[in-house]
């Protein structure tokens, strides 16, 4: 890190984040890393001396956005230059990692390319970019987390009541469609003590809900106080001891890593919210094999049954890919059947996008675009139906809502249910920061509406009543 006093002059930083929650977390860490150099975050791109595009490479569409965004950047930089201001432009994230050299060659407007494993080096790389174009897409030996400064209390307070916390990064699973093992590297888990310290700081700054992040978060195996590796379940039991931290979530998981301790955490911890994102990708064993998922539809059902036995009201979410090479109508029908049988509270579905460097991209028998489009539409409508059924089943129930912000309408506040649904409630802004019991009165297309049961007694522990829901066609 350079001590040049020039570095300390206040400068504006704008970060545009694409992609997953891990990128949202990383963007905050980058802002924290650059804060000691005098960089203040701004929400106005035109004001920024340094613009970082934190990019996503998971599907082709996500990558393409970067190059179109860079076209816009060039205009903006030229306008600022006309007014005597310099602007430095950086690309970070997974496109930087996967296509760093190409970005440097194709986009002269870019001054700086930094891969996800090098964010702790940002201060020196940004300083270097003043005089030359810089690229760093190494997987360095040192642990970036231990070199990245945490946020100040002020920054955390400004970021709100909920926070992400990365506990694990990278993936060793190598699903044949996925770029993550190449862009984020091998699985690395942070030690328990470091995560607990970060969570305590967040709680001390008023954060009430933490979502633990990892590309394969339930493969977490960080070092515990006794030197032995701990799983995600053990980590959750530790985090549940922290005062003021009322809600815990985690994402994204692989079905094969739902071990007994993690399932016990769902049974035993009030703080662990009854919502689980557990991607299956396909309902066809033939396609699951081609995807190198290393599980079957049956083993996925078995895991779900175990989780439902531990936490009967759990809301399930998943990811699906349609149009994977070789997918027949019969394979797709298996996916539709699985979706109906599980009864997801929400789910994400994507058309297969061949990613350079992955085995899937080399497979013959790619599915015609029209067929994939039709399947995607059919799947999305099925998912929507399931989501609507799940929400409708909440009418009349009382559930805890963490009130996070003012609502859309005057006199309303908004927050999230334990099942991650957006809930609007009639009430005063003084409720922001409280967890309050709300009786659900009506169901909208994207959110629920409810009324406070008792405003005089904001609660700290989470309360979920009436713990069965009607959308599951399978019993636990």
- Letters for 207-236 (x = contact with ligand SF4 by CB under 6 A, - = none) are --------xx--------------------
- Binds 266, which of ligand 5AD, ligand SF4, none (CB < 5 to 8 A, cut-off by type)? none
Q: Are 119 and 26 in contact (CB under 8 A)?
A: yes
The structure tokens listed for 203 are 């709680």
Q: Regarding beta strands 209-213 and 247-251, do their DSSP bridges make them parallel or antiparallel, or are they unpaired?
A: parallel
Among 175, 217, 338, 431, binds ligand SF4 (CB under 6 A): 175
What value does the CA radius of gyration of the chain take, rounded to a whole number of Å?
23
Q: How far is the CB of 303 from ligand SF4 (least distance, A)?
A: 14
Among 56, 178, 210, 435, binds ligand SF4 (CB under 6 A): 178
Other Cβ atoms less than 10 A from the Cβ of 154: the count is: 10
CA atoms within 13 A on the CB side of 130: 9
Among 249, 254, 355, 424, binds ligand SF4 (CB under 6 A): 254
Q: How far is the CB of 179 from ligand 5AD (least distance, A)?
A: 7
Which is closer to ligand SF4, CB of 183 or CB of 417?
Answer: 183
Q: How far is the CB of 234 from ligand SF4 (least distance, A)?
A: 21
Among 48, 56, 89, 171, binds ligand SF4 (CB under 6 A): 171
Of 38-46, 170-178, 194-202, 381-389: span binding ligand SF4 (CB under 6 A): 170-178
Which is closer to ligand 5AD, CB of 58 or CB of 314?
Answer: 58
Among 31, 50, 180, 464, binds ligand SF4 (CB under 6 A): 180
Q: Is 29 a binder of ligand SF4 (CB under 6 A)? A: no
Q: In 3D, which of 232, 162, 181 has the Cα closest to residue 404?
A: 162
- Binds 350, which of ligand 5AD, ligand SF4, none (CB < 5 to 8 A, cut-off by type)? ligand 5AD
Which is closer to ligand 5AD, CB of 87 or CB of 168?
Answer: 168
Residues that bind ligand SF4 (CB under 6 A): 171, 173-175, 178, 180-181, 215-216, 254
């Amino acid at each position: 890190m350079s001590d040049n006093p020039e570095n300390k002059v206040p400068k504006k930083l704008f970060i545009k984040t694409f992609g997953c929650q891990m990128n949202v977390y990383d963007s905050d860490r980058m802002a924290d890393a650059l804060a000691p150099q005098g960089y203040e975050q701004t929400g106005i791109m035109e004001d920024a001396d340094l613009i970082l595009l934190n990019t996503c490479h998971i599907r082709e569409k996500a990558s393409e956005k970067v190059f179109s965004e860079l076209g816009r950047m060039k205009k903006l930089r030229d306008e600022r230059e006309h007014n005597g201001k310099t602007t430095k432009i950086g690309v970070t994230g997974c496109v930087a990692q996967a296509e760093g050299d190409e970005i440097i060659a194709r986009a002269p407007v870019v001054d700086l390319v930094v891969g996800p494993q090098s964010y702790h080096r940002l201060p020196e790389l940004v300083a270097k970019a003043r005089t030359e174009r810089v690229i760093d897409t190494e997987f360095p030996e040192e642990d970036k987390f231990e070199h990245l400064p945490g946020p100040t209390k002020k920054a955390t307070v400004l970021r709100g009541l909920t926070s992400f916390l990365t506990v694990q990064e990278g993936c060793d699973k190598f699903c044949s469609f996925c770029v993550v093992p190449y862009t984020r590297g091998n699985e690395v888990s942070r030690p328990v003590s470091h995560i607990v310290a970060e969570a305590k700081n967040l709680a001390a700054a008023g954060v009430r809900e933490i979502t633990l992040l990892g590309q394969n978060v339930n493969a977490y195996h960080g070092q515990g106080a006794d030197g032995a590796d701990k799983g995600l379940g053990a980590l959750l039991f530790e985090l549940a001891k922290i005062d003021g931290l009322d809600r815990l979530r985690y994402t994204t998981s692989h079905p094969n890593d739902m071990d007994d301790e993690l399932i016990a955490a769902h049974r035993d911890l009030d703080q662990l919210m009854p919502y689980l994102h557990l991607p299956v990708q396909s309902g066809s064993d033939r396609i699951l094999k081609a995807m190198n998922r290393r599980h079957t539809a049956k083993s996925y059902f078995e895991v779900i049954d175990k989780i439902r036995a531990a936490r009967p009201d759990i809301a399930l979410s998943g990811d699906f890919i349609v149009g994977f090479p070789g997918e027949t109508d019969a394979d797709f029908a298996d996916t539709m059947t699985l979706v109906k049988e599980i009864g997801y509270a929400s789910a994400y579905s994507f058309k297969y996008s061949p990613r350079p460097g992955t085995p899937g991209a080399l497979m013959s028998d790619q599915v015609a675009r029209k067929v994939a489009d039709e399947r995607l539409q059919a799947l999305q409508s099925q998912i929507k139906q399931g989501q609507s059924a799940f929400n409708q089943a909440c009418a009349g129930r009382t559930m805890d809502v963490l009130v996070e912000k003012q609502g859309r309408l005057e006199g309303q506040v908004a927050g999230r249910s334990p099942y991650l649904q957006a809930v609007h409630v009639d009430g005063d802004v003084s409720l922001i920061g409280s967890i309050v019991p709300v009786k659900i009165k009506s169901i909208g297309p994207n959110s629920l509406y409810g009324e406070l049961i008792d405003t005089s007694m904001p609660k700290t522990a989470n309360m979920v009543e009436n713990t069965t829901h009607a959308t599951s066609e399978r019993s636990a």
